[in-house]
Amino acid sequence: MMIRGSTGLIAHIGYPTHTFKSPMIYNPYFAHAGIDAVVVPMGCRAASYPALLAALFTLENIHGALITMPHKVSTLALVDAASPAARVAGACNAVRRAPDGRLVGDLFDGEGFVRGVRRKGVELAGQQAFVAGCGGVGSAIAASLAAAGVAAISLFDARPESAEALCRRLRAHYPALRLRTGEADPAGHGLVVNATPLGMHDDDPLPLDVTRLDPGCFVGEVVLREHTPFLRAALARGCRAQEGTDMLFEQIPAYLEFFGLPTTTPARLRALAQLDGPPRQENVS
């Protein structure tokens, strides 16, 4: 695509940058749709990041910034306003400048997950959800499920303090939500989420006891691999499922909306993407 003086910029900030996939997803779409914008990878170490973020948003042709590791947590303290999802998760992965000049942060991991589940016909209102893994992506998914109207969420993490901390943050923003922590049992839940990194490697243990999954429940994965052992076991048990890559492509239209750019469907993004391997596993923490 041609970069002109009129081209709008989206900075993709993190370190290291050599495995970033966003430019190979967004830029083919921009070129195909005739959108005068470009995603540019920007490698920045933690010590320099606050100054870089502030400087970038003095540019008049910047649409916003995609934020990835190691900066997602520190970004929350650098923005002037943040969404409930970002505040619950304690992290941001997108920043834009509001008309009044304030920096606004949001987090779309959970939004991508919820959009994918809804696209598959799952009704979330009143649902009983189980989330294994209460780090960054698990917190984001739990916050988005709460905003989508689930009735109850059971939280489990190998570090009990992480589940308890997420429970407190959710309760502060969603006081009517029923919350439970401490049990690794997914039985009785209509929606079960693996928000742990388990499954990135073939010899990883399963994140939970799949024999306790209710047949017919919906199982979601965040690991960006096709057919993880967990999903294969859940499908064999009669569950419906969503892969981690579904979450990845579903969140991109939400980013485009956030940046004020024309959006498209996840299917179109997949068809245009020029990935040279599986997407980088940068959403699990």
Active-site residues: which are they? 72
Amino acid at 154: S
Cα Rg for the chain, rounded, in angstroms?
19
Unique residue bearing structure tokens 């209710």: 214
Q: How far apart are CA 175 and CA 182, in angstroms?
A: 19
**Distance, C-alpha 235 to centroid of its chain:** 23
Torsion of CA 217, 107, 269, 125, to 10 degrees: 30
Where residue 101 falls (left for φ over 0; alpha for ψ -120 to 50; beta otherwise) is left
Q: For strands 152-156 and 128-132, give the pairing.
A: parallel
Q: How far apart are CA 160 and CA 223, in angstroms?
A: 21
Torsions phi, psi of 215, nearest 5?
A: -55, 135
Amino acid at 166: L
Q: In what order do the strands lie in the sheet with 81-82?
A: 37-43, 8-14, 62-67, 94-97, 103-106, 81-82
Cβ atoms of 225 and 235 within 8 Å: the answer is no
Torsions phi, psi of 154, nearest 5?
A: -100, 130
Helices vs. strands in the chain: H and E counts, helices first: 10, 12
Which SS3 state, helix, strand or coil, does residue 179 take? Answer: strand
Residues forming beta bridges with residue 105, ordered by sequence position: 82, 95
